[in-house]
């Protein structure tokens, strides 16, 4: 299921072994649209030295690179097809291996249970924990509508659709990791500074755990 030779183009088969040797600390960052996770990821990078990867950004960068893999991704998107989990995970794998760091935030991924299962099967690692920014739909709507950045997807109908998709797809992932004691919930409806204080407590505890 996860061993398509076409999708493995450019990625050495020993990459997963190298990844285990690297012993990276991986934190999945999940939250609905407008939950403020992007802002908090920037704070975590600044204060705790993590490298921040967005699955969407990696796909866009691969397309822009003009590589064979990038062309394949672009064609799939043009045809309205969903990019297979393996493609995104191989890009994450490559980025982690090429990084000089050993602590990573993976933002907005896994989006669903299939993503999660594929990540663990291919990478052969599990996240240290999942940072979940919990925020009411009303507050997320207010923030997105107030951004005033001219984004086409910031209208009420689209926002509500994105929120529904998040609930349907990502909540099962959160529930799965919650059953393993790996979810750290943040009340993301508070002001940015207060949210980061809660985030800081979690990451300080994680750093202490690594150092122990």
Q: Is 34 annotated as a binding residue?
A: yes
Instruction: Tell me whether residue 60 is annotated as binding.
Output: yes
**Domain CATH code at residue 166:** 3.40.50.300
111 labeled part of a ligand binding site: yes
Annotated ligand binding at 187? The verdict is no
Closest by CA position to 126, among listed 179, 57, 63: 179
Domain presence at residue 83: yes
Please indicate if the annotation marks 69 as binding a ligand: no
In a domain, 15, yes or no: no
Lowest mean pLDDT across 14-18, 43-47, 75-79, 91-95: 14-18
Residues 103-148 pLDDT 10s? 999 998 998 999 999 999 999 999 999 999 998 888 888 888 876 5
3-state secondary structure the chain: CCCCCCCCCCCCCCHHHHHHHHCCEEEEEEECCCCCHHHHHHHHHHHHCCEEEEHHHHHHHHHHHCCHHHHHHHHHHHCCCCCCHHHHHHHHHHHHHHCCCCEEEEECCCCCHHHHHHHHHHHCCCCCEEEEEECCHHHHHHHHHHCCCCCCCCCHHHHHHHHHHHHHHHHHHHHHHHCCCCEEEEECCCCHHHHHHHHHHHHHHHHHHHHC
Confidence band of 1 (pLDDT split at 50, 70, 90): very low
Question: Binding site annotation covers 130?
Answer: no
Query: In this structure, is residue 68 part of a structural domain?
Result: yes
Task: Assess if residue 4 is contained within a domain.
Answer: no
39 labelled ligand-binding: yes
In tens, the pLDDT along 64-107 reads 998 888 999 999 888 877 788 999 999 999 999 999 899 999 99
Q: What is the Cα gyration radius of the chain?
A: 17
What range defines the domain where residue 30 resides? Answer: 25-211
What is the number of domains present in the chain?
1
Determine if residue 70 is labeled as part of a ligand binding site.
no
Mean pLDDT computed over every residue of the chain: 85
């Amino acid at each position: 299921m996860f061993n398509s030779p076409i999708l493995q183009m450019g990625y050495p088969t020993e990459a997963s072994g190298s990844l285990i040797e690297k012993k990276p600390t991986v934190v999945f960052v999940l939250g609905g649209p407008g939950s403020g996770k992007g802002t908090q990821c920037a704070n975590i990078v600044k204060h705790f030295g993590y490298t921040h990867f967005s699955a969407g950004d990696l796909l866009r960068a691969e397309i822009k690179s003009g590589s064979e893999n990038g062309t394949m991704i672009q064609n799939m998107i043009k045809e309205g097809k969903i990019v297979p989990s393996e493609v995104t995970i191989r890009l994450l794998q490559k980025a982690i291996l090429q990084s000089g760091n050993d602590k990573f935030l993976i933002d907005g991924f896994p989006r669903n249970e299939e993503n999660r299962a594929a990540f663990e099967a291919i990478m052969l690692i599990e996240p240290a924990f999942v940072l979940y920014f919990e925020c009411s739909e009303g507050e997320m709507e207010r923030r997105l509508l107030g951004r005033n950045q001219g984004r086409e997807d910031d209208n009420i109908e689209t926002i509500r659709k994105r929120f529904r998709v998040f609930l349907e797809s990502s909540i099962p992932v959160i529930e799965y990791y919650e059953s393993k004691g790996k979810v750290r919930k943040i009340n993301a409806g508070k002001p940015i500074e207060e949210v980061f204080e809660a985030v800081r407590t979690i990451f300080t505890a994680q750093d202490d755990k690594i150092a122990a």
